[in-house]
Amino acid sequence: MALREIVKEGDRILTKKCRPVEKFDEKLASLLDDMAETLKVAEGVGLAAPQVGLLRRVCIVDIGDKDGLIELVNPKIIAYSGKQSEAEGCLSCPNEYGIVERPMFVTVQAQDRNGNEFTIKGEGLKARAFCHEIDHLDGIIFKQKVQRMLRPDEIEKS
Ligand code: CO
């Protein structure tokens, strides 16, 4: 496993649409392993392939719950309901947070690293993370959907 550098906002790769994964090979497995390590070190809840410089429909989410790390290859939101408006950030936009409206519940269909299809549901933060990461695969950053950015004094120091 190796750490990969996280691309920052302003890099055009973050504005591009990613291509579907067709080969479920060693290269995909090492990308997923590297992304997992990179996410852990960065202490984020999700990371998408374009954030490590690859235009592939691959992302990972780990909100620290019992499901642990979720690997999503070629993910699609197939159902959603409800609404939530909470603060959201992105590893490509350090120290910036904004309020974004997202569905409260989503169902995602995706493939695992071996190409097997599965569906997974997310509620609250997990639904938000799925939406945020899948947006990255279409070249969309949360700041394009933000209702308002938080002021520095509103950002809780942890
Ligand atoms: Co992001």
Question: pLDDT tens-digit profile of 31-64?
Answer: 999 999 999 999 999 999 999 999 999 999 999 9
Q: Does the pLDDT at position 158 exceed 60?
A: no
Domain ranges of the chain: 12-157
Query: Is 133 designated active site?
Result: yes
Q: What's the 133 CA to ligand 1 centre distance in angstroms?
A: 6
State the pLDDT confidence band at 100, using cuts at 50, 70 and 90: very high
- What pLDDT score does 151 carry? 92
One-letter amino acid identity for 97?
A: Y
Helix (H) or strand (E) segment spanning residue 30: helix 26-42
Q: What's the 136 CA to ligand 1 centre distance in angstroms?
A: 7
E strands, 82-153, in order: 84-90, 93-102, 105-111, 117-123, 146-149
Give the environment of ion ligand 1: residues with CB less than 5 A. 90
DSSP label of 49: G
Question: pLDDT tens-digit profile of 113-134?
Answer: 999 999 999 999 999 999 999 9
Q: Which of 44, 53, 45 shows the shortest CA–CA distance to 18?
A: 53
Q: Does the pLDDT at position 150 exceed 80?
A: yes
| Section 153-157 average pLDDT | 77
Which two three-digit tokens encode residue 17? 């649409």
CATH architecture of structural domain 12-157: Alpha-Beta Complex (3.90)
| Section 106-110 average pLDDT | 98
- What pLDDT score does 155 carry? 85
Q: Does the pLDDT at position 1 exceed 90?
A: no
Q: Which of 73, 46, 49, 75 shows the shortest CA–CA distance to 60?
A: 46
Which two three-digit tokens encode residue 105? 């519940």
Q: Which residues pair with 106 in a beta bridge?
A: 80, 122
- What pLDDT score does 121 carry? 97
- What pLDDT score does 157 carry? 55
Q: What's the 83 CA to ligand 1 centre distance in angstroms?
A: 20
Q: What's the 46 CA to ligand 1 centre distance in angstroms?
A: 7
| This model's pTM is above 0.85 | yes
Question: pLDDT tens-digit profile of 64-88?
Answer: 999 999 999 999 999 999 999 999 9
Residue of 9, 26, 117, 133 with catalytic role: 133
